[in-house]
Amino acid sequence: MTEFAASRGLECRLLSLNDAAELKRLNVAGRDIVFTGSARAKGSFLAAALRTGWRSARQGKKSPQLVVAGHPNLAPVVRAMSLAAPRLKSIICTHGVEVWQPLPRRRRSALRKATVILAPSKFTADHVAADQGADPKKIRVLPWALDPQFEALAANAAKTSLPAKFPSGQVVLTVGRWRADERYKGMDTLITALPRLLPRWPELELVAVGDGDDRAWLEDLAEENGVDRHVHFLSALSYAELAACYGHCEIFALPSRGEGFGLVYLEAMACGKPVIGGAYGGAPEVIEDNRTGYLVPHGDPAQLATALETLLADPALRQEMGRRGKQRVENEFRFNVFAKSFRKILRELCES
């Protein structure tokens, strides 16, 4: 957005709800973006959004041409901004489970009034049309891409130093938020699948990167299944440490039923690893079943164990699936591919 604005002599401003109010700096693809947040104060955030239009009018400048909202919960803010800038066009990004059932009436109505609604997968796009009542002509499928910083780290992930508590042995890696309201990610199924695998692979380790209020429950579950010594939780990792975890694992697995897209699958594939995901949501649009990994039913430890066993028993298959996945990421999911498609949408809206 900043590059597109600069190419047209326009200003691009970033408004953040959750970041702190002090000056912050974000670097994306070598470009520094400076902004301040609203410290989770929704009233302050709304006021800042409205001032963007009103200030321009008072100063005799052109009203804002376009607003991009990063989440459908911000749709009412976008709608309010149109009061200050009636000719404003809007893009609202959707992601996954938050739009797989009807939003509250006000949000749903505001979302439908957006000029363009982005969805990272056809599965999510179909739900936006069916559950939110949005005009299918407004919905565009735009797959998310790897963070360009992660692209650079992935190239040397296998040679990067590991976090101190990363175990030796054969490692199955999973990455996510371990929260009680996100048990759909399937971390519990990974734990309950381990007893089926350990008799043949006693050195097998499950590494879970992430944290959340469900971690204690998962640790208790591992103890109940007698696998607590084989389950390792790592949190607060740097980007480089996360890439190293991908680079040193044998398999990545997140048997989720709630991924609208699944950036973690892309990260693992970029590091040349076979991936196992849930056969639901946007995951089947990222993972090619039997080519770059396997899709398994959510909550089925037996089928998950079978998929893991197949990969653990065949290093050549792991390598070939990892190679195909890496090639697919390079062809379809790099940041420059995403940026080209997004710039086209911006251009269409600004020129129409």
pLDDT tens sequence across 43-55: 999 999 988 866 5
pLDDT at 61: 63
Class of domain 2-145+335-351: alpha beta
Helices 315-332 and 263-270 pack at an angle, to 10 degrees, of 110
DSSP state at residue 272: T
CATH architecture classification, 148-332: 3-Layer(aba) Sandwich (3.40)
* pLDDT beneath 70, residues of the chain: 53-61
- CATH topology identical between 2-145+335-351 and 148-332: yes
pLDDT at 54: 66
pLDDT at 321: 98
SS3 content of the chain, % helix, strand, coil (to 5): 50, 15, 35
Nearest to 309 by CA among 140, 196, 191: 196
pLDDT at 84: 79
pLDDT at 60: 54
pTM over 0.75: yes
The token duo for 301 is 């430890």
Per-domain residue ranges for the chain?
2-145+335-351, 148-332
339: exposed, middle or buried (C-beta count within 10 Å: 0-12, 13-18, 19+)?
Answer: middle
Please name the residues in contact with 245: beta carbons below 8 A apart, sequence gap of 6 or more: 162, 163, 166, 173, 175, 207, 209, 234, 237
pLDDT at 351: 87
pLDDT at 294: 98
